[in-house]
A and B are shown apart, each in its own frame.
Chain A
Amino acid sequence: MKQSRFLPVFAALVYAFLHVPLLILCAFSFNSSKFTIWEGFSLEWYRAMFNDAQLAEATWNSLVIALVSTFFATIIGTLCAYGLWKRNSKWLSGSLYLSLVTPEIVTGISLLALFQWIFRYWQVQLGMHTVILAHIAFAIAYVLLVVMARLRTAEPALEDAALDLGATEWQAFRLVTLPILKPGIAAAALLAFTVSFDDYVITSLVAGVDSETLPMVLYAMARRGANPVVSAISTVIFLGFGALILLSERMQKNT
């Protein structure tokens, strides 16, 4: 096939469009001035970032929430994917996929409505626990997506062979399917973690006063105006997430 020059050039432009804004942001986070004119290299904004107590607490909250919800969502989602793979349940898989396409704002307000309703009868408030519950709920669908994709490429005869050789259904799952599924589960966990860590819309609606997360702080700062500390935070997040994705790719390769 004759290749024209057009495609590679176009592709290069698109990649530039995708990556340059972020790279510029990273570059300017090292700018000694807070204006968008380069005035020299400086780590000033990173220092400010590390010294911000509110930021530190928000980051900690985000980490805790992400780790806890990833842990539960991965387990629940994996078991669910396996169960649905064995025999589908239209209402369950339909609901889970629906939750994936439901706009976040709708998910968020519906959860808020639920919690407010519950709090009328129980003496509880919005807080870390409501955020974690919300995160587990929406992360399950992501885990399901990834693990299901993996299961679809699996050979069903393998479990049959295990049963044939004397393994019970539970043993077949534990000894044959689960080990083979490991890379997919790891990738799903990583996805759940990044989705949880990065969430703003749902979190902002169901978080309490004591459970500010990093995206919430970032949002407030971004709204207030030009702030180079935001650039510094962005760079760190960008590098952090980038590293996680590289990790994910590595794990996917070890099939």
Chain B
Amino acid sequence: METALALTALMKTFPSNRVVDGISLNVPKGCFYSLLGPSGCGKTTILRMIAGFAEPDSGEIILNGRRLNGLRPYERPVTTVFQSYALFPHLTAAQNIAFGLERAGEEPTAIPAKVSLMLELVGLQEKGDRFPASLSGGEKQRTALARALVVEPELLLLDEPLSALDPALRKRVRIELKQLQKRLGITFLFITHDQEEALTLSDQIAVMNKGKIEQIGSPREIYLAPATRFVAGFLGAVNWVDGIGVRPESTHISRQAPANGVRLIEALVETSVFLGDCFHVQTRTNAGVAITAQVDHDEEQYANGDRVHIWWHPRDELPVRE
């Protein structure tokens, strides 16, 4: 598969710390690629370096064979959807979208058609004449997206574009975003700290921590076969028992010891937490280790103080050791 964006050994140091510490990755063409990591891990800095708002101390940024280092933002075929959307308040939605086309020297007569097309694509046909102040959060986000896409960039950067939306809206927009990307075939580089978002949307994920990459892989690989303890813990809950990691959904409870071929521990039920679609039962082994097991509604329920057996299949164990 062709590589769209290649980052090689990127470094960026601010006075007190190495914000970006030797980052190398390849984003394939047409891929929905996510940079996932906690706040302060350096992902925003990487985005700004690709867009041209900051220069790396060392390392290369190559887009479709062209070296971007040193180029001003307006010289790069890269556009950004900002976290705050950054819509121009004195221009209508349509004028916002037309902005990039005008700067590129597009034929003035051809612009309105392209803008209309884009408005339709993001579902804002009737809202072109509205000013940002009278658009809802979701509509602003779509306008920002349309504005960045209409100039047909070689790479689209998205800086946590969904974080300002409320949860219900976020889920809906996620699906639309994924469909839009597939339809247009434009390479997306998406940064987020929300692991659910990354898992749902991405073709590939790079998990970052403290300026370094911990693991790169598909959502499945990252979740089921985390390479480091950090990745395991960031993507979901983990039970660590004697150095072995098992996720709660793979951890079972029963009163009697089950059949052979499974790992087994005795434990005492401490409390149950209702999560809506299941229970997480928190237990403690005789050795004092805390283990959380997932119990679905159609299974037997347990009360505090019950003595139970905790078990799991060895194949469900995470490959990484504590």
Which residues from chain A sit less than 8 Å from chain B, CB to CB?
155, 157-158, 160-168, 171, 175-176, 179-180
Contact = CB atoms under 8 A, between A and B. Distances in A.
Nearest to A176: B88
B53 A160 contact: yes
B99 A162 contact: yes
Nearest to B99: A165
Contact of B82 (A157, A167, A179): A157
Contact of B90 (A166, A167, A179): A179
A168 B78 CA distance: 15
B151 A166 contact: yes
Interface string B126-148: 00000000000000000000011
Contacts of B319: none
A161 B99 CA distance: 10
Given A164-B148, A165-B103, A167-B103, 8 more contacts: A161-B82, A162-B88, A164-B51, A164-B78, A165-B147, A166-B100, A167-B74, A179-B90
B88 A158 contact: yes
A160 B88 contact: no
A32 to B, nearest CB: 54
A184 to B, nearest CB: 13
A15 B87 CA distance: 43
B103 A164 contact: no
A180 B103 contact: no
Contacts of B86: 155, 157-158, 160-161
B79 interface: yes
B116 interface: no
Contact of B73 (A157, A163, A175): A163
Tell me the dominant secondary structure on chain A's binding face: helix
Nearest to B78: A164
Contacts of B79: 164-165
Q: Which 9 A-B pairs give the minimum distances between C-beta atoms?
A: A166-B103, A165-B100, A161-B86, A157-B86, A163-B73, A179-B90, A166-B74, A164-B80, A167-B103
Interface residues of B, number: 23
B181 interface: no
Contacts of A166: 74, 100, 103-104, 151
B89 interface: yes
Contacts of A171: 103
B74 A180 contact: no
Contact of A180 (B90, B99, B147, B148): B90
5 contacts: A160-B53, A161-B82, A161-B86, A161-B88, A164-B78
B72 interface: yes
Nearest to B72: A163
Contacts of B73: 160, 163-164
Contacts of B51: 164
B84 interface: yes
B103 A157 contact: no
B26 to A, nearest CB: 23
B74 A168 contact: yes
B320 to A, nearest CB: 38
Contacts of B89: 158, 180
B174 to A, nearest CB: 23
Contact of B80 (A155, A158, A161): A161
Interface in B50-65: 51-53
Contacts of A163: 52-53, 72-74
Contacts of A164: 51-52, 73-74, 78-80, 148
A155 B84 CA distance: 9
B277 to A, nearest CB: 38
Interface string B66-105: 0000001110001110101011111000000001100110
A155 B82 CA distance: 12
Nearest to B105: A166
B151 A165 contact: yes
B140 to A, nearest CB: 12
Contacts of B87: 161
A158 B144 CA distance: 12
A162 B88 CA distance: 9
Contacts of A158: 86, 88-89
A160 B44 CA distance: 14
A166 B90 CA distance: 18
Contacts of A157: 82, 84, 86
A166 B153 CA distance: 11
Nearest to B144: A161
A160 B74 contact: no
A179 B72 CA distance: 23
A209 to B, nearest CB: 49
Contacts of A175: 99
B296 to A, nearest CB: 45
A175 B95 CA distance: 12
